[in-house]
Amino acid sequence: MSPLLCPTPARWLDRALGDLDTLLLDHAHCEKKAASTVLALVFRAPEMELSGALSRMAREELTHFEMALRELKRRGLPYEKLPPSAYAGRLAAACRKRPESEGLLDAFVAGALIEARSCERLALLANAVDDPHLRAFYHALHPAEERHHLLLLEAAERFGDPMPRLAHLAAVEAAIVTEGEDIVRMHA
């Protein structure tokens, strides 16, 4: 079951389909950032069982990054810098930092929301793109994003009751998504 409070607005898919090359480049950056974020959580929450699960997730995110790089290469596109959307930064700004247990709970909940939004958008793309290679790429990533958001929500439970923070952060996330941005990004 998705923790998201609203669906992606139709304008996002229209923009994405209008510039799949930029979206794919941003997607590669998002996968790299996801791996980095999850690895940082391994250092912040160094419990053996959780660290093992997060380590596997970080490796899977890096595999997705490599898959996105292959898609860029297949399309003859360079891997270059791209300014990110404000989505993740705005969501992070709504998270508590201290005490550490509350900061971790919020970090895991925010991560779960980001993964859930990715899961939703990958499904939208998989059903809408004409390129069979990209369609297969998005279909292949979808189940992992669903697993990831569930893992992160489960991890949040180790640091307290995630439900009040999930309600708060999901409302923040919904407002960010509803407002949107005038750029083509996975999370704009």
The highest-level CATH class for domain 10-75+88-179 is: mainly alpha
Q: What token pair was written down for 158?
A: 């180790």
pLDDT at 129: 97
Domain ranges of the chain: 10-75+88-179
Helix (H) or strand (E) holding 36: helix 20-44
- pLDDT on residue 1: 78
Tell me the mean pLDDT in the region 14-35. Answer: 97
* Per-residue pLDDT at 31: 97
Over the stretch 102-141, which tens digit does the pLDDT of each residue have? 999 999 999 999 999 999 999 999 999 999 999 999 999 9
Q: What is the per-residue DSSP string for 98-128?
A: SSHHHHHHHHHHHHHHHHHHHHHHHHHHHTT
Once rounded to an integer, what is the mean pLDDT over residues 94-98? 95
pLDDT band at 148 (very low <50, low <70, confident <90, very high): very high
Q: Which two tokens stand for residue 73?
A: 């290469």
Report the C-alpha gap between 39 and 45 in whole angstroms: 10
Residue 136: other Cβ atoms inside 10 A: 13
Note whether 68 and 28 are within 8 A (CB): yes
Average pLDDT along the chain? 96
Question: Distance between CA 76 and CA 87 in Å, rounded?
Answer: 28
d(CA 179, CA 149): 23
- The pLDDT, as a whole number, for residue 4 is 97
- The radius of gyration of the chain's CA atoms, rounded to the nearest angstrom, is 16
Please give the pLDDT value at position 46.
77
Query: CA 121, CA 186: separation in Å to the nearest integer?
Result: 8
